[in-house]
Amino acid sequence: QVQLVESGGGLVQAGGSLRLSCAASGRTSRIYSLGWFRQAPGKERESVASITWTGGGTTYTDSVKGRFTVVRDNAKNTVYLQMNSLKPEDTAVYYCAARFTIFGTYDDWGQGTQVTVSS
């Protein structure tokens, strides 16, 4: 279906910023939306943000509203997650995933990128 490659993770101090990228290839014309998820050690994976591929509508989980912004560049088939005012609790592996219908599941996933926020 679609191949997804995340990049941009790293180590940052609390209050700092990072920008994650998710580059999509393959049958990108079939994408309805791309989502960002994260999973911290010992915790369940949680949804962070999403953006529709054509309309650009976005959603955010409450804990990142006002700090994270998701944008897309369709010309580059890439979605970005700008993360500002990072907190230690944002530490996790971040994944992007593709959904192909409005009510479908996220079927294609990237390999993830580690984000570590030090206090």
Average pLDDT over residues 12-36: 97
For residue range 33-87, list pLDDT tens digits in order: 999 999 999 999 999 999 999 988 999 999 999 999 999 998 999 999 999 999 9
Average pLDDT over residues 9-17: 98
Specify the pairing of strand 33-39 against strand 92-99: antiparallel
Q: What is the DSSP string of the chain?
A: -EEEEEE--EEEETT--EEEEEEEEESGGG--EEEEEEE-TTS--EEEEEEETTT--EEE-GGGTTTEEEEEEGGGTEEEEEE-S--GGG-EEEEEEEESSTT--EEEE---EEEEEE-
For residue range 98-117, list pLDDT tens digits in order: 999 999 999 999 999 999 99
pLDDT value of position 55? 81
